[in-house]
Structure 1
Amino acid sequence: MTLTRKGKHWYGSGDDDIRAVIQGFSERNGYPATDYRAAVCVCGSTLFRLFDDEEAGVARRDCVACGTAHLMGDSAEYADEADPEAHECLCGSEALAIHCGVALYADSRDVRWLYIGCRCPQCQLVGVYAEWKCEGGPVEAFMARV
């Protein structure tokens, strides 16, 4: 893990750096992430195109290897109301490694806030690409759908 700041952006050498960026962002946001999960496709790939609609609380990742689309967390509940937009890295790459972090309600294991962090394998840019308050229910079930 080696995070380097260049201007206002972070660059990392590995996917562990995504967690570090989510941690710092979430602490500044006031809802520190406590649980993390890397996105992995059923085919085993770890690179995806990311689509989200923060207003609706919906995120989808499409595997770049096999094309399988995965609604993330509790997104299936709100997908009909969403108009997800595609993300791409500043370098133009659409393939991203994705990790999610969640903040929980006090004295509970229920999800309160979702953070979606990404790392570009082309240029190594790391950042939080999306975040929102959510009523995600039990963290174990929520993170199983990341």
Structure 2
Amino acid sequence: MSQEPAAPGSPGQGCRCPAIGGRSGALVFAHVPVTVAVTPARYLAAMAMDISGEWWRGENAADLAEYLEELAAGGYRVDRTAEAVCTDCDGRSFRLRADPLEGAVERTCVGCGQVLRMLDSGDFWEDAEPEEVVCPCGADVFDVVVGFSLHADDEVRWVSVGVRCITDGVLGCCADWKINYGPSSHLLELA
């Protein structure tokens, strides 16, 4: 009996990003399948995302945005997504360090070396224990998209940082966290 592909997450599941090995001091993101009531054909027809193997794969940032929408980290739907773009060179490929427990992600542009602590990560970086984010294939360069769940007043409720490996297209989420303060709508500009 063949098993149907599982969606990347379900309400209440959040991002699945456990350290599963790899380089010492590296956070290897992992998609841990969970079952939800979904028609798999919907996913197979959507954009270029491939869910047929062990890892979900995408061809571009749009696929990553869709992945985050399906993930629904924290149990909240994703209302908006924003692709990370370097403010110095317009680069879209990054190396990342993350602490998913503290809710902190730092990105380094591959093109120019600009380092930026994403969203409100700078506020928590001192307490964070960040590790390099690495794809299961061993690569460490990613497209990055942030998913935002919003309250009715457009204040941010939850953020999830999605990654797409440039080498093999594997999709993942390296960190997600609740935003429990306001105003928080400024975070929409800090992907």
Same-fold call, TM cutoff 0.5: yes
Q: Is the 8 A contact 2:98 2:174 kept in 1?
A: no
Please give the alpha-carbon distance, in whole angstroms, between the structure 1 residues aligned to 2:85 and 2:182. 21
Partner of residue 41, structure 2:
none
What is the Cα-based RMSD across aligned positions, in Å? 1.6
User: Which of 24, 36, 44 is equivalent to 2:81?
Assistant: 36
Distance 1:138 1:17 in 2: 30
Alignment map for 1:1-146 (pairs within 5 Å): 1-26=47-72, 29-42=74-87, 43-105=89-151, 107-135=152-180, 137-138=182-183, 140-146=185-191
Once residues 100 and 178 of structure 2 are traced to their aligned partners in structure 1, the CA distance between those partners, rounded to angstroms, is 9
Instruction: Return closer, same or farther for 1:136/1:126 CA change in 2, 3 Å cut-off.
Output: farther
Are the counterparts in 1 of residues 80 and 147 from structure 2 also a CA contact under 8 Å?
A: yes
Which AA in structure 2 matches 1:11? R
Shift of 1:6: 3.2
Q: Provide the C-alpha distance between the structure 1 equivalents of 2:181 and 2:100, rounded to a whole number of angstroms.
A: 14
Q: Distance in 2 between matches of 1:141 and 1:7?
A: 38
Unmatched tracts of structure 2, length 5 or more: 1-46
Report the structure, 1 or 2, having the larger strand content: 1
Which runs of 5 or more structure 1 residues have no equivalent in the other structure? none
Give 1:99's aligned amino acid: V
Residues 110 and 136, structure 1, Cα contact 8 Å, conserved in 2: no
Q: In the alignment, residue 90 of structure 2 is paired with which amino acid? A: G
User: Identity across aligned pairs (percent)?
Assistant: 31
Contact 1:61 1:71 in 2 (8 A): yes
Using structure 2 for the length normalisation, give the TM-score: 0.70
Q: Is the 8 A contact 1:136 1:142 kept in 2?
A: no
Contact 2:103–2:175 (8 Å) recurs in 1: no
